[in-house]
Structure 1
C-alpha cells in the first residue's frame, strides 16, 4: 500500500513538473525578478529608516504570518476507486493520513518560520524582545498544529474514515493545482465548476450589452463570472494593486499597478480555450473569427473597468494618470499580439 501511494505521488509530481516550464517562462521570470528586486529595495529602506511610533509595519507583519497558518493542505493521493477496492486497508489509510499531516506540518511550518524570520527586524525594531519573538513563532506553529488536527478530525466518522469526503478533498486539491497551471498552458484532466452567482447578473448585462450581438460574447461573459476563479482572481489582483497604490503614491506605485494589470490580463488568456472541449459550440452557425472578436471585446471591457477604478488614485497623485497609457498599450498592442500567437 505504501508503494501504491508513493507511485501516485511520483506520477502527480512528474505531471506538475511538466507544466512548470510553461509557468516559469521568460516573461514570468522577468516579472518575478522585477518584483523581487522592488520588494528587497523597499524592505531594506524600511529597516534602515524604520518609522518610530508607527504600528503599521508590525500589524502588516503579524497579518502576513498569521495568514500563512492557513496555507498548505494535506496530500493523501486517494482516488475514487479506493473506497471500493481498498476499503479493507482502512488502517493503512489512517496511517497514511497521519504521515501526510506530519509532512504538511513540517513543509509549510518551515516555510512559515522562514517568512517570520525574514520579518524579524520589523518585530525587533517595533520593541519586541527576542523571547517574545521566539514565543510568537512557537504560537504560530501551535496554531498550525491545531488547524491540522481539526482538519483531520473532519475526515472521520466516529473511529472510521469518511472515504467519500477524503476523495472529494483530494480531487479538489489536485484540481486547484492543475487550475493554476491551466492559466499558462492547456492542462489535461482538469474539470471546472460552474456556480450561478446571481449577484453578478448586473455585470453580465454590462458585458453582453453590444451593438452586434455575438453568441460567443455571452458564453465568455458567463464563463468569466461563473466558471472557475477568473472573476475572483481579477478582484483580488485589483484590490492588491489599489492597496499598493495607496501605500506608494509615486512612480513605484504606478509601476506596480501596471505590473499587476499585466499579470491579470496574461492569466485571463486561458479563458479563451475554456469551451474547446464543448462539442456543441462547434455547431453554432457563426464564423471562427466571431469567437476571437468576442474574446477581445471581453478583455477590452475588463481592462477598461480596471482602468476606471484605478484612475481614482489620481486624487492622491497626478502620476497615476500614467495608468491610462499602460492599459492602452496592454489592450491594443500586447493582447492582440499575444492572442495571435495563442490562437495560432
Structure 2
C-alpha cells in the first residue's frame, strides 16, 4: 500500500503542477498582484476609520475563519478500479491514508495562515484581540482541520453512525470561535486537540465502504477540474449539461438560426461557460463593493470583461467535432456572425451587471455613471473589433 500511495502522490504532483503552471501564468500573476495591491490599499485606508470593539466583530472574525476552514478537501487519490482490485485491502487502508493527511493539509494551512495574516491588523487594532490570542486561534484552526480529515476517513467505513456532516462541523466551529474569541482562545485549542485525539478512539466498522470513498474522491476531483477549466482545457473533466429554467427568459426566439439556437443554449446550460459568465460577473460586483472607488472598479471591470470574453470564444468549437452537426443542413458560412451575436448578448449582460454594481457601491454616483458609459464603449470595441478577428482565427485552426 505504501508503494501505491507514493506512486499516486507523484503522479498527482505532476498533474497539479502541470495545471498550476497554466493557471498561474504571467498574465494572471500580474492581475493578482494588481488586485491584491488594490485590496490592500483600500484596506489600509479604511481600517483607520472603523470604530473599535463593536459587538459584531467577534462573530465576523469567526465567520471569516470558518469559511476559510471549509476550503480544502481530504485527498484520498482513490480510483474507480480500486473497488475491484483493492477490495480485499480493508485492513491496510489506515496505512494507505497515513501520508495523505500531511498532503491534504498543505492548502488549508496556507489559506489559514494567509487569511489570519490579513486579519491581523483588524483583529488587533479594532477587535481588541491580542497577538497571542491570534496565534492560539490559528493553532486551533489547524487542529480542527486535521480533526475534519480524520472524521472524513472514519466515515468511509461501514459504521453504525455517520461520524461526519460538513454543515454540522462548520456550525460547531463557528459557534466555538464566536464564544472563545472574546473569552479564552485556549479553550478552543483544548476542545479541538481533544477532538483530534478522541476521533482515533471512535468505534470503526470492519468493512471499508469503497463506493462512498471513491464517490467522495471523484467529487473532489470534479471541483478541482471545474476550477482549472476556468483557465485551460481539462481533458478528463466530466461535463454535465442541464437545463436551467430560470435562465430561459434570456433565450431569444426571434430571427433564430440553427447556430444561434445551439450557441445560446450551450452558453446558458453548459456549466463550463455558464459558470464562467456568472462567476466573473459576481467577482466584479464583489470588487466594486470592496473597493468603493469608481476608478479602481472601472479598471478591474474592464479586465474582467476582457478575460471573460477571451475564455468564452472557444464556445464556437463545442459542436465542431460532432458528426451530426455537419450532417444536418446547417449553414457554415454564417457561424462566425452567429457566434459573435450570441457572445455580444452575453457580454452586454455582464457589462450591465458590472455597471449596476459600479454605480450602486461607488460614493461618487455621477462619476461612476460616466465610468459605466466608458466601460460600455470599451465593451463595444472588444465586441466589434477584437471579437470578429479572434473568431475567424479560431475557426481557421480547427482540423477535422
Distance 1:308 1:67, change over 3 A: same
Match runs of 1:229-244 below 5 Å: 229-244=272-287
Match runs of 1:28-39 below 5 Å: 28-39=28-39
Given that 1:230 and 1:268 are in contact with CA atoms closer than 8 Å, whether structure 2 keeps it comes out as yes
Distance 1:16 1:154, change over 3 A: same
Given that 2:79 and 2:214 are in contact with CA atoms closer than 8 Å, whether structure 1 keeps it comes out as yes
Specify the alignment match of 1:311 in structure 2. 355
Q: Distance in 2 between matches of 1:303 and 1:108?
A: 35
Distance 1:249 1:338, change over 3 A: same
* Structure 1 spans left out of the alignment, 5+ residues: none
| More displaced 10-residue stretch of structure 1: 283-292 or 68-77 | 283-292
Secondary structure, counterpart of 2:240 in structure 1? coil
Match runs of 1:93-172 below 5 Å: 93-126=93-126, 127-158=128-159, 159=205, 160-172=207-219
Q: Distance in 2 between matches of 1:54 and 1:263?
A: 41
Quote how far apart the aligned CAs of 1:251 are: 0.9
Distance 1:219 1:122, change over 3 A: same
Specify the alignment match of 2:379 in structure 1. 327
The answer on 1:273 being equivalent to 2:326 is no
Distance 1:314 1:184, change over 3 A: closer
Secondary structure, counterpart of 2:121 in structure 1? helix
Q: Deviations over 1:100-142 (max 9, x none)?
A: 2343235413431232123211110112223432343244334
Specify the alignment match of 2:51 in structure 1. 52
Given that 1:78 and 1:167 are in contact with CA atoms closer than 8 Å, whether structure 2 keeps it comes out as yes
Q: Deviations over 1:62-114 (max 9, x none)?
A: 54432111111222221111111111122233432344234323541343123
Given that 2:230 and 2:276 are in contact with CA atoms closer than 8 Å, whether structure 1 keeps it comes out as no
Quote how far apart the aligned CAs of 1:20 are: 4.0
Given that 1:194 and 1:228 are in contact with CA atoms closer than 8 Å, whether structure 2 keeps it comes out as yes
State the Cα RMSD in Å. Answer: 3.0
Given that 1:57 and 1:122 are in contact with CA atoms closer than 8 Å, whether structure 2 keeps it comes out as no
The answer on 1:90 being equivalent to 2:90 is yes
Given that 1:214 and 1:290 are in contact with CA atoms closer than 8 Å, whether structure 2 keeps it comes out as no
Q: Deviations over 1:242-282 (max 9, x none)?
A: 23323414211222222222333233334333345533323
Secondary structure, counterpart of 1:285 in structure 2? coil
Specify the alignment match of 1:190 in structure 2. 237
Quote how far apart the aligned CAs of 1:196 are: 3.0
Specify the alignment match of 2:185 in structure 1. none
The number of equivalent residue pairs is 339
Given that 1:71 and 1:108 are in contact with CA atoms closer than 8 Å, whether structure 2 keeps it comes out as yes
Given that 2:77 and 2:217 are in contact with CA atoms closer than 8 Å, whether structure 1 keeps it comes out as yes
Given that 2:68 and 2:112 are in contact with CA atoms closer than 8 Å, whether structure 1 keeps it comes out as yes
Given that 2:281 and 2:350 are in contact with CA atoms closer than 8 Å, whether structure 1 keeps it comes out as yes
Q: Distance in 2 between matches of 1:289 and 1:10?
A: 48
Q: Give the structure-1-normalised TM-score.
A: 0.84
Quote how far apart the aligned CAs of 1:13 are: 3.0
Q: Distance in 1 between matches of 2:393 and 2:29?
A: 20
| More displaced 10-residue stretch of structure 1: 300-309 or 188-197 | 188-197
Q: Deviations over 1:138-194 (max 9, x none)?
A: 443344344334433432222222212222222232233334333444332332112
Q: Distance in 1 between matches of 2:113 and 2:21?
A: 28
Quote how far apart the aligned CAs of 1:300 are: 0.8
Given that 1:254 and 1:319 are in contact with CA atoms closer than 8 Å, whether structure 2 keeps it comes out as no
Specify which of 214, 223, 238 is matched with residue 176 of structure 1: 223
Q: Distance in 1 between matches of 2:57 and 2:40?
A: 15
Secondary structure, counterpart of 1:72 in structure 2? coil
Specify the alignment match of 1:2 in structure 2. 2
